[in-house]
Structure 1
Amino acid sequence: MNTAPSLSVVVCAYTLDRWEDIRAAIASVRAQDRPANEILLVIDHCEELYERASTSMPGVRVIPNRERKGLSGARNTGVAAARCDVVAFLDDDAAADPDWTDRMLERYDDPNVVGVGGLVRPWWGTGRPVWFPQEFDWVVGCSYRGLPEQPAPVRNFIGANMSFRRAEVVSAGGFRTDLGRVGTRPLGCEETELCLRIAARRPDAGLLYEPAAAVRHHVPESRTTWAYFRSRCYAEGLSKALVARHSGSRAALASERTYLRSTIPQAFVRSLRPGRPGALRTLAALTAGVCATVAGYVVGRIHSLSSVSAPHPPHPPQPPLELPGTDGAPEPFWGSPYALRGWGHHGRRG
């Protein structure tokens, strides 16, 4: 008889501006039909937020980010502090459905499943712009049209709603800190790179997308503009170029090839149907989104190739963290001993 794995839920936060969102995220985890064994709130280098959360969230382990500033370092800190078999990540501006943990954990009954990601529904603060194509909901960190509608293996997860067996993340070395969001800058693709690394280490391992394990993700008005749309697409291309540098373009772009060959052409066809509201603007968004992403990737690859050929001074490795093992003894956790080399903008599609 299989024993259900224990669960740590990690929420990473960096600013008091999202205080109400953070409270909603934590409340949604507390209200789960199957309670998590522990909730960790990792504060990313914001002393004021740390003090406020520490005094107003009883029962939540509030800890400071002990790595480089940014989402990747905060997640690594959460993994290092977690005490359970499975570590789930929920964004600080997302709220989980009541059966989120239940739907997620039941998939770990299969020992070959090392990670489970779920559906991320957009929660538009001011309503979805009429021109915003659902195929580009990844721009706002949400599930997009083209993903499976039933449980299915996937290459990578969307960061707002994902989980892994903790031992697999530790063995893989954690999230790279030269990828990932830092503050409000649209950095990203750290989830993709970690998933690729886990899959490379464990070809028999399964990364499963379970749309029934759902969350809603707040999309503020600031992310509904043309300027944000274009900049995020361009940043996504830059990020994918860096992932391709680390993991190889074949693996890094496998899903993107299908997306461009199938999902985007179908989106154009739908936009051309008579009577569709905002059809011309949607067509313009589809075209601009693809072009900006490809341009970012090309620029990123050129930059990446030039960086490889140019000499760089050596960087000392990051010291290991002590991570409590399942038998009570400490085990090494190397985090992400990688240095940022001249990159300022990376995107995230998850």
Structure 2
Amino acid sequence: MQNFPLYHIAHIDLSRTLKLPALDTDHQGNYIVFWWQNVALGHLFLETGENLSPADYLERVIKSIEPTICFYAKETGSPESKWQLWLRNQQFETWSDWIERSFSGLTSAAIPPTVPVSVIVCTHNRPRQLQQCLENLKLLSTLPEEIIVVDNAPSDEASLKVVRQYQDLLQIVYVKESRKGLDIARNTGIKNASTPVVAFVDDDVATHPLWLYQVWESFKDPLVAAMTGLVIASELKTEAQCIFEKHWSFNRGYTDKLYDQGFFNDTLRKGPPVWRIGAGANMAFRREVFEQTGCFHELLDAGAAGCSGDSEMWYRLLMHGYKIHYNPRAIVFHEHRKETEALKRQIFYYMRGHTAAALIQQHYYQKADYSRYLAKLFLKTYTRSIIKGFPGYSFKYSTLWAQISGALAGLAYYYKNRKKSTGELVK
């Protein structure tokens, strides 16, 4: 018998209906993502057995989308309105007209067919995921000038065969990288890119049709050196997927955020939380910034520290005074790991890389007090979790020992390799 919640994912376009959709609440939870056409507004978890009246449902909708609606209304200079009241009173046309005006300008009427961006997909022995990723890239409203598939230490030619299926449909380049490691593969992609902007998606994501258009929109601001985008779960069918989305989610919210020198300086005392900026599954950079900051740190890889090459790169960009834009309109859908043991391995390497990266970042700039952050992590956060999770350590706490052992392994890795891990990329 299942003792954990599974969720059906429903996507509701509020430009079409405000009604509560027909949901099975007896046998599963429901994860509802609200949209206004192509703009994601917020989400709502409904637990198994949770039945809502239409009025209660609208209140939950309002609560989940209110920050986003207010953000866009302010950005576009829309006059104040009683939109919450219109929703409660089912005044759909009044609500719809006001939102339409408030959201005008978020997407240009003339979407370019191509943009000078190289989309880099790093893959390792996952031809099924790669094929699905390329299928979605093929459907983009705006296509990149080139797609570079970096086949990382493959054991066979399965990924090459997948790429060949798309060579007549896409401007696609296949590059084999024999050295294993995600950041090694990322750097190989950068070296082979020929455009001013490089965008990265994981092979296990599906891109929204307007994803690349919105990536390009971020770089219209000449002060933006990098961007990240919204990552929404594509399914929540297993315990591992539910744990990840509820407690390790890549989703960074539905409103724009700008990370700059002010963010960097304001958070120095506790160690800048650069991991909040986004996810490596959906990010892009001006290619020229790598000439100033160096490429991805290859010692923060699987087989080495574990991961966090993306957040460590964002740290270096901020340290050099660059700006990073979180653009929630650049959307991908991520397939979380299905098996609990695979999730535990993932979390182990997350924390191993996270800890090593934090200490590397502190070495770059001593005022960034990650030692304080790590001390709090071990002495307060993990101690509380050990007490709260006792004795069963189920669901949220089922990955706790992977977290702790990963963080300890990250400390050991850093102190064993600190000379070579901190002296290669500082510029």
Match of 1:320 in 2: none
Match of 2:307 in 1: 188
Q: 1:218 to 1:253 in 2, by over 3 A?
A: farther
Deviation at 1:195, TM superposition (A): 1.3
Q: Is the 8 A contact 1:32 1:97 kept in 2?
A: yes
Identity within the alignment, %: 22
User: In structure 2, which of residues 147, 157, 167 is the aligned counterpart of residue 48 of structure 1?
Assistant: 157
Match of 1:293 in 2: 403
Runs of 4+ off more than 4 Å: 127-131, 249-254, 279-284, 287-292, 306-309
Q: Partner letter of residue 299 of structure 2? A: D
The alignment's TM-score, normalised by the length of structure 1, stands at 0.67
Q: Is the 8 A contact 2:235 2:241 kept in 1?
A: no
1:47-126 to 2 correspondences below 5 Å:
47-49=156-158, 51-58=160-167, 59-66=170-177, 68-124=179-235, 126=237
CA distance in 2: counterparts of 1:92 and 1:116, whole angstroms = 19
Question: Is residue 2:326 matched to residue 1:209?
Answer: yes
Q: Partner letter of residue 21 of structure 1? A: Q
CA distance in 2: counterparts of 1:171 and 1:188, whole angstroms = 22
CA distance in 2: counterparts of 1:208 and 1:294, whole angstroms = 31
CA distance in 2: counterparts of 1:78 and 1:181, whole angstroms = 17
Match of 1:305 in 2: 415
Match of 1:232 in 2: 346
Deviation at 1:186, TM superposition (A): 9.8
Question: Is residue 2:336 matched to residue 1:219?
Answer: yes
Provide, for residues 261-282 of structure 1, a one-character-per-residue CA deviation record: whole Å limited to 9, x for no partner: xxx9xxx9xxx9xxxxxx9999
Between 1:243-252 and 1:118-127, the stretch displaced more is 243-252
Provide, for residues 164-200 of structure 1, a one-character-per-residue CA deviation record: whole Å limited to 9, x for no partner: 1111124322112222346xx9931110111112222
Match of 1:153 in 2: 258
1:305 alignment partner, SS class: helix
Q: Structure 2: which 5+ residue stretches go unaligned? A: 1-111, 260-273
Deviation at 1:304, TM superposition (A): 2.6
Question: Is residue 2:317 matched to residue 1:177?
Answer: no
1:164 alignment partner, SS class: strand
Q: Is the 8 A contact 2:240 2:337 kept in 1?
A: no
CA distance in 2: counterparts of 1:22 and 1:282, whole angstroms = 38
Q: Which has the higher contact order (CA 8 A, sep 6+)?
A: 1
Alignment RMSD (CA, Å): 3.9
Q: Partner letter of residue 255 of structure 2? A: Q
Deviation at 1:95, TM superposition (A): 0.9
CA distance in 1: counterparts of 2:306 and 2:302, whole angstroms = 4
Between 1:242-251 and 1:93-102, the stretch displaced more is 242-251
CA distance in 1: counterparts of 2:190 and 2:286, whole angstroms = 10
Deviation at 1:7, TM superposition (A): 0.9
1:136-151 to 2 correspondences below 5 Å:
136-138=247-249, 142-143=250-251, 147-151=252-256
User: In structure 2, which of residues 278, 285, 297 is the aligned counterpart of residue 164 of structure 1?
Assistant: 285
Match of 1:318 in 2: none
Q: Is the 8 A contact 2:230 2:253 kept in 1?
A: no
Q: Partner letter of residue 191 of structure 1? A: D
Between 1:232-241 and 1:46-55, the stretch displaced more is 46-55
Question: Is residue 2:317 matched to residue 1:198?
Answer: yes
Provide, for residues 33-63 of structure 1, a one-character-per-residue CA deviation record: whole Å limited to 9, x for no partner: 1221211111113251354145322134333
Between 1:154-163 and 1:208-217, the stretch displaced more is 154-163
- Aligned residue pairs, count: 282
CA distance in 1: counterparts of 2:391 and 2:171, whole angstroms = 45
Q: Is the 8 A contact 1:53 1:62 kept in 2?
A: no
Question: Is residue 2:27 matched to residue 1:27?
Answer: no
1:37 alignment partner, SS class: strand
Larger C-alpha radius of gyration, 1 or 2?
2
Q: 1:305 to 1:44 in 2, by over 3 A?
A: closer
Match of 1:39 in 2: 147
Q: Is the 8 A contact 1:186 1:232 kept in 2?
A: no
Q: Structure 1: which 5+ residue stretches go unaligned? A: 273-278, 316-335, 339-350
Deviation at 1:212, TM superposition (A): 1.5
1:157 alignment partner, SS class: coil
Q: Is the 8 A contact 1:31 1:98 kept in 2?
A: yes
Q: 1:252 to 1:135 in 2, by over 3 A?
A: farther
Q: 1:27 to 1:306 in 2, by over 3 A?
A: closer
Deviation at 1:120, TM superposition (A): 1.3
Q: Is the 8 A contact 1:241 1:301 kept in 2?
A: yes
